[in-house]
Amino acid sequence: MPVTSRPSTTGSKCLADGSVNRSFSHVLLYHGAYARVPAELGSSLHNVTPDALFRQLEWMKQHFDVVRLDDLLNMEDRRGTVSVTFDDAYKSVFDEALPVLETLQVPATVFVIGCTLSGDIFWRDKVRLLISAGHVERFVDWAEAFCAANGITKGNFYKRSKDPAVDSRKIDDLMADFLTAFGNTQEDVTRFCVDAGTDLPRHELLAYGNHSLNHYVFSSLQNAVQRDQIQANKEVLARMNLPVSDVFSIPFGGLDTFTPHTLRCIGDSGYRAALLSRGRLNAQNTGALAKLSGFPVIERYMPPGTLAEFQHQVSVLEKAALG
């Protein structure tokens, strides 16, 4: 049976305009759930502490129907629902967020990067590690030809390294070579995402989803590589023998980070919808899901770090969805 939590009938006047609008479907996107973010990850990781997570989800339960993400695929009326997702499978999701989910009885879908399950380091964490260790200038000098050709500098390294115009697979390889060249092997670097399939718990509140094999920017990849990234990770998840979502989470999730071919590959791999990450509510909530290039899509947004900021965000997003 799907886990569904009905909203409380009291205390509903929490938004700035004094009301809660149940016309929309909310899908929340979390990443880290550290009480204290590790210094190596710096300040760029999207992180909501366990305490803030509890307050945000408790508030959502008071005003919306909590449903599993995949329930949205079959619901005729999705208005007034909220679903919870975590991207990248950071270890903090299981160590620090899962107790919150258990207390509140809120289900969640965790989207996994397959390469990390074999011990590889998530390439965006390599970027964060270079920044926190003060090695960016050294890396830019070391990879001078690539960085110059792609407009990468010390000042824009974090943002430019994930630009669709930059081959994220190539920069991942260069960072790995750089770390090795300067005496840092894979074993020397802390891995923050789950690094073994056996560490993904079978739990009644959790399902798992495909976030691609390496979390590269799909629009920077050749078509055949995009297909391989989706299919290879689907096979990784199948070997885990865990509940798996029929929804694919597109890395980065903005319109410039994938192509119509990406959506075709997702559909060809058997997925029923794709998750976007454009900071929006879902406004089409009766009948079929909204479509992009003919394929069903679901919008998400990333909650900020406090309950007050989150409540304000919901109010702003509602106004934007109302036009």
Confidence at residue 34, expressed as pLDDT on a 0 to 100 scale: 98
pLDDT at 4 over 70: no
**C-alpha torsion 233→40→202→247, nearest 10:** -40
**C-alpha torsion 151→155→159→163, nearest 10:** 0
Nearest to 92 by CA among 193, 212, 190, 189: 193
pLDDT at 267 over 50: yes
Q: Identify whether the C-beta of residue 127 lies closer than 8 Å to the C-beta of residue 175.
A: yes
Q: Which of 7-16, 106-115, 227-236, 304-313 has the lowest mean pLDDT?
A: 7-16
Q: What confidence category does residue 41 fall into, taking pLDDT thresholds of 50, 70 and 90? A: very high
Give Cβ neighbours of residue 104 (< 8 Å, ≥ 6 apart).
Answer: 5, 54, 57, 58, 61
Provide the strand spans (E) within the chain.
Answer: 25-30, 65-66, 81-87, 108-112, 206-210, 244-249, 273-275, 291-292, 295-298
Residues in the chain: 323
Residue located via tokens 């995949």: 70
pLDDT at 7 over 70: no
Give Cβ neighbours of residue 156 (< 8 Å, ≥ 6 apart).
Answer: none
Q: Which two tokens stand for residue 214?
A: 């390496």
Confidence at residue 190, expressed as pLDDT on a 0 to 100 scale: 85
Q: What is the mean pLDDT of residues 49-77?
A: 98
Q: What is the mean pLDDT of residues 2-29?
A: 64
List pLDDT tens digits, range 93-109.
999 999 999 999 999 99
Confidence at residue 182, expressed as pLDDT on a 0 to 100 scale: 85
Q: Identify whether the C-beta of residue 49 lies closer than 8 Å to the C-beta of residue 33.
A: yes
User: CA triplet 8, 13, 17: central angle to 5 degrees?
Assistant: 145
What global pTM score does this model have?
0.93
Residue 85's identity, in one-letter code, is T
Q: What confidence category does residue 1 fall into, taking pLDDT thresholds of 50, 70 and 90? A: very low
**Phi, psi of 5, rounded to the nearest 5 degrees:** -115, 120
**C-alpha torsion 253→258→260→262, nearest 10:** -90
Q: What's the mean pLDDT when you consider all of the chain?
A: 93
Q: What is the mean pLDDT of residues 176-198?
A: 83
Three-state DSSP state, 214: coil
Q: Identify whether the C-beta of residue 236 lies closer than 8 Å to the C-beta of residue 116.
A: no
Confidence at residue 185, expressed as pLDDT on a 0 to 100 scale: 59
Q: What is the mean pLDDT of residues 39-62?
A: 96
Percent of the chain with pLDDT over 70: 93
Indicate left, alpha or beta for 86 from its phi (over 0: left) and psi (-120 to 50: alpha). Answer: beta
Confidence at residue 107, expressed as pLDDT on a 0 to 100 scale: 98
Nearest to 308 by CA among 83, 14, 47: 14
Q: What is the mean pLDDT of residues 200-212?
A: 98
CA distances from 257 to 57, 79, 119 (A): 29, 28, 25
Q: What is the mean pLDDT of residues 252-262?
A: 98
Q: What confidence category does residue 186 fall into, taking pLDDT thresholds of 50, 70 and 90? A: low
CA gap 196, 94 in Å, rounded? 13
CA gap 66, 108 in Å, rounded? 10
Confidence at residue 11, expressed as pLDDT on a 0 to 100 scale: 35
pLDDT at 167 over 80: yes
Q: Identify whether the C-beta of residue 60 lies closer than 8 Å to the C-beta of residue 308.
A: no
pLDDT at 295 over 80: yes
Confidence at residue 313, expressed as pLDDT on a 0 to 100 scale: 97
Q: What confidence category does residue 152 fall into, taking pLDDT thresholds of 50, 70 and 90? A: very high
CA gap 304, 30 in Å, rounded? 9
pLDDT at 120 over 80: yes
Q: What confidence category does residue 189 fall into, taking pLDDT thresholds of 50, 70 and 90? A: confident
pLDDT at 15 over 60: no
